[in-house]
Every structure is written in C-alpha cells, then in structure tokens.
Amino acid sequence: MSGRSVAPAGKHWLVEMYQTPELDDVARIRRALRHAVAESGVRMIRLQLHHFGVGRGVTGVALLAQSHISIHTWPERRYAALDIFMCGSKSNPRKALDALREALAPGRVRVRRFRRGLGRV
C-alpha cells in the first residue's frame, strides 16, 4: 500500500432532534428512514427497528451500501439522537437530513458534521 494513499472519505453527521412528536410510533420512524434513504442517493441493505414497548422509545438503523443512518428515541423527552454516515460521491446526507426533518417534524435540531477516514494511512 502506498504511503500516499488516503483512506476513503465519508461524511458523518450527528443530529439531535428536540421537541419532536410521536417518537414512540415505530411505523412513523420506519417511514422516515425509508424516505431519507430514497432521497439521498444510497442503497438500503437492511432496515432494523426495535420498539421498547408502548409509549417507550424506538431504536434502529438503516444499514446502507454507503454506511448507515441510526435513530434512538426518547418519546417522553420528545428527543431523538440520529446519525447519518454516508460514503461515496453520490450520497447526500443533506437530502437525508431534510427528509428526516420533514418526516419527524422536530421543533429544534442540532447538527454536527465530521469527515471520516481522511488523511494518509
């Protein structure tokens, strides 16, 4: 391997959604993730969601050919922690985030953006 090689690049966004309704609705969260995947130029490998029970949170991940989108919700706090990790030049985390905002309707969002795997290896 060349010392000049760079590791593959990826965009990893940590997303906090506050003041968000109906975060115990697993069907709603499934639709939101499917919508985000469809909008962002990536391919779904598998969508895995787990509901902790009536009125309780949902946790899950959309495993992608270009990495993943995860969601963990606390409906009693109206809070969800998401991360959007996308590799490849055709994937678009901005479109994924827009789709998730549209579907989940948070009152307030915080996004932190990072690059993954950059630099010489």
Q: Which residues bind a second copy (CB under 8 A)?
A: 1, 5, 7-8, 10, 12, 14, 16, 18-19, 45-46, 48, 50, 52, 59-61, 63-65, 67-68, 70, 72, 74, 77-79, 81, 83, 85, 87, 112, 114, 116-117, 121
Q: Which of 35, 72, 89, 91 is catalytic?
A: 72
Min dist. Cβ of residue 48 to a second copy (A): 6
Contact 118, 5 (CB under 8 A): no
Give the E-state strand segments of 5-107 in sequence order.
10-18, 44-51, 58-64, 67-74, 79-87
Provide the 8-state DSSP code for 6: B
C-beta of 31 vs 113, nearer to a second copy: 113
Min dist. Cβ of residue 50 to a second copy (A): 5
40 is catalytic: no
Contact 55, 24 (CB under 8 A): yes
Min dist. Cβ of residue 57 to a second copy (A): 9
Strand, coil or helix: 59: strand
Closest CA to 46 of 70, 25, 28, 26: 70
Catalytic positions: 67, 72, 87
